[in-house]
Chains A and B, each alone.
Chain A
């Protein structure tokens, strides 16, 4: 990996470059990854900075008279095929059944969904990779860690959540404030209940990898285990981890909405993409936009993360980077 720079003809006469610059160069060359990154950045900026421009309160219900007038406004583009549709430039994406602005709700929902999705996915990946590598590489840990994985796979999710909420909600709310507490609780709950697949996949790969020639060579040279794991094993299990990451972010966004729906998560008037989607299913035929937008937002986020993952994997693989 260290000699990767020498293979890059563009840098032939220049002093050795930082390998991360090379990684970035390779990443830029990956069209899908670049588009993915731009789209992802756009979504993140949209949901976090968007509310500064579109200064509507996502939870604001107008007073009675306005509410009746404004509720169930259709998105502005509906006019294109239905001239009599109830639309208004004041609400480009329309309003929901309580006349709350849908664009503002999408943005506010995105903040929560993206933060929770990324944080929970990261936690579950870290846990899964750590346990998978330890179990796969160190024979003595394999038994106990994999039995622990079996245990977690077998535990019924809902009672587990109930117990966790019972034990930790007040504690966390006291320490971090109500919203911070709920955030930490949700992220850890989703993380703790979704690492098992990653762990088993990583372990399976590590079991095979550690018998490969390059690992045996490294070991015979007296390389300490920690270095073998970090330098030789981890880079080679990166691709299943990347796949787990993309799938994990989708799972986390949906699980978060399920938690909030059950009452373990954010307050009911707090929009998230998963929740918006869930609430809109009943009126799917009347107001298709209300399922399309959150559904699209989740899908595009997951797609863009997937392409970023693809690009990263290629960029981090010296064999590909060299070509």
Chain B
């Protein structure tokens, strides 16, 4: 699917090449209207990491290099992507040198220089700033600027993947002149700068109304002649995905709707409106069921519940394998995601090099699952249709966040598990509580006061090293760490930790892929989680809007400069 989308994107780009070649006036196509059902609340991505905020700010401020729709790194504000081959990355993998394209201007007409890049580093790494993108600068010791157009990033240790700082949508460059006095604790006070950053992008902010609407106009100092085609962008936020889809595909009031998390039949019905087209692309997002490796029994005290191992029965390979076999993933995709979903058995389904092919889980096998449980000695001794483990009925508390598709999944999976003699009680929790890290709430996904829980997660960029780190023993949330930690299932295996350590020192991409796949298999096969669906992003654009290339590795609005009106 991704390949196909990429090809289609390329074809579209080719098709429009002759059009673009004719030198045309900037701003010739008037206004374009974008709707995000989550409204941006700030235009400074360093103060808020929400996708909505980052996407909205990315039309204005840009990184040095970014990912294209195929997940390949492309130069953006620099002449080329530095590699060991072209000498941009040092042999010891401890520094990377970027050469800024000469002649780039900020929208206020001042030149864009390496000082701005260095300033961005200082801004984000200030200890009192609370920068949301701090991990992008992990391991960086200093940023040097030998001259106006050269930036050297030095790392503490050999870094096999040095494309963290200043690369991708989360690490754009801000203007030093504008943010000079906004560093550290003063950052929140600079409302004007946070609401209207000066950038190098195709558009500049005219008015920003937080959580409501943004108006942009074409940047007259933009580096490419004749771009952007639109003179004005209206970016409306708020409401829900259904309303956004309707506004593009049924009423035609808007030109682009972001992230339509809707059931496939609902989207198909909207498409009949004839005014817009849905488009899908696949990143590494996976909907999965996490299996609790610890005991969540409410009878245990606050310091032991979901801390002490093992779970009464979920640790048994027969149980989690049977639970996985009982699930019909093909049907889940059909019911919940349609074109925007694929069956997956993997935790890391993309990029391709990290996508393991060792497992197959596309067919449901209730009989096989039952046989597996029978063989392991889990029998229904009292004839109530539920098997017993050590004399206690196998009953699971199955929680997830509130979301129509997730509740459908819960009902389906509950019915399949009932067929193999495992009973489940469902619970849904409002997303703001479930994903909130409040140590005072019993309902957060980190606390995991349930046997299994379902949600989706992914990683930014194309390298899953830190994401795979979510399986390390010491990342398990516990009372000592205020329930913070990303190893939600509390998976713990010394072999896994050792292999992950090996990944952090490996530079060769093929080798990294092999280790990554092995880590993926290790965690899934040892009962850390049951992957369900590889989820894509589905957005919609008006039929009159051309040049849209859905990019799941970067901002969806990454090529907004190339958008135009089909006449």
Contact = CB atoms under 8 A, between A and B. Distances in A.
Direct contact of A and B (CB under 8 A): yes
B331 A64 contact: yes
Given A63-B419, A166-B440, A178-B425, A263 B411 contact: no
Contacts of B440: 166
28 contacts: A59-B411, A60-B415, A61-B415, A63-B415, A63-B419, A64-B364, A97-B263, A98-B411, A98-B412, A162-B433, A166-B441, A170-B298, A261-B402, A262-B402, A263-B427, A263-B429, A267-B427, A268-B407, A268-B410, A268-B428, A269-B407, A269-B414, A279-B404, A282-B262, A283-B263, A283-B266, A286-B265, A286-B269
B266 A68 contact: no
Contact of A64 (B328, B410, B414): B328
A162 B444 CA distance: 13
Interface in A240-283: 261-264, 267-269, 279, 281-283
A59 B424 CA distance: 13
Interface string A73-114: 000000000000000000000000110100000000000000
Say whether chain B's binding surface is mostly helix, strand, loop, or mixed: helix
Interface residues on A, range: 20 to 34
A263 B364 contact: no
Contacts of A166: 440-442
Contacts of B410: 268-269
A18 interface: no
Interface string B338-380: 0000000000000000000000000010100000000000000
A67 interface: yes
B53 interface: no
B251 interface: no
Nearest to A59: B411
Interface of A: 59-61, 63-64, 67-68, 72, 97-98, 100, 162, 166, 170, 178, 261-264, 267-269, 279, 281-283, 285-286
A282 B402 CA distance: 15
Interface string B415-431: 10001000001111110
A263 B402 contact: yes
Contacts of A269: 407, 410-411, 414, 426
A90 to B, nearest CB: 18
Contacts of B83: none
A162 B414 CA distance: 27
A176 to B, nearest CB: 15
Contacts of A178: 425
A296 B263 CA distance: 25
Given A68-B334, A267-B426, 7 more contacts: A63-B415, A63-B419, A72-B265, A97-B263, A268-B402, A268-B428, A269-B414
Contacts of B265: 72, 97, 283, 286
Given A59-B411, A97-B335, A282-B263, A268 B441 contact: no
B443 interface: yes
B430 A262 contact: yes
A171 B25 CA distance: 69
A67 B297 CA distance: 34
Nearest to B364: A64
A283 B262 CA distance: 11
A291 to B, nearest CB: 14
A166 B440 CA distance: 9
A260 to B, nearest CB: 8
Nearest to B425: A267
Interface residues on B, range: 35 or more
Contacts of B298: 170
A100 B262 CA distance: 20
Contact of A68 (B242, B331, B408, B443): B331
10 interchain residue pairs of minimum CB distance:
A61-B415, A263-B429, A268-B407, A268-B428, A262-B430, A267-B426, A269-B411, A263-B428, A263-B430, A64-B328
Nearest to B406: A268
Interface string B382-418: 0000000000000000000010100110111011000
Contacts of A281: 242
A181 to B, nearest CB: 13
A102 B132 CA distance: 47
Interface string B291-332: 000000010000000000000000000000000000010010
A14 to B, nearest CB: 60
Contacts of A68: 331, 334
B404 A282 contact: yes
Nearest to A169: B442
Contacts of A263: 402, 427-430, 433-434, 443
A286 B441 CA distance: 39
A67 B416 CA distance: 12
A104 to B, nearest CB: 14
B366 to A, nearest CB: 8
A304 B353 CA distance: 65
Nearest to B414: A269
A61 B407 contact: no
Contacts of B404: 279, 282
Nearest to A162: B433
A302 B155 CA distance: 69
Contacts of A285: 269
Contacts of B429: 263
B548 to A, nearest CB: 25
Given A262-B402, A282-B263, A282-B266, A67 B427 contact: no
B369 to A, nearest CB: 13
Contacts of B242: 281-282
A63 B440 CA distance: 40
A158 to B, nearest CB: 9
Nearest to B419: A63
Contacts of A67: 331
B255 to A, nearest CB: 22
Contacts of A60: 415
Nearest to A269: B411
Interface string B166-186: 000000000000000000000
Contacts of A61: 411-412, 414-415
A293 B282 CA distance: 38
Contacts of B266: 282-283, 286
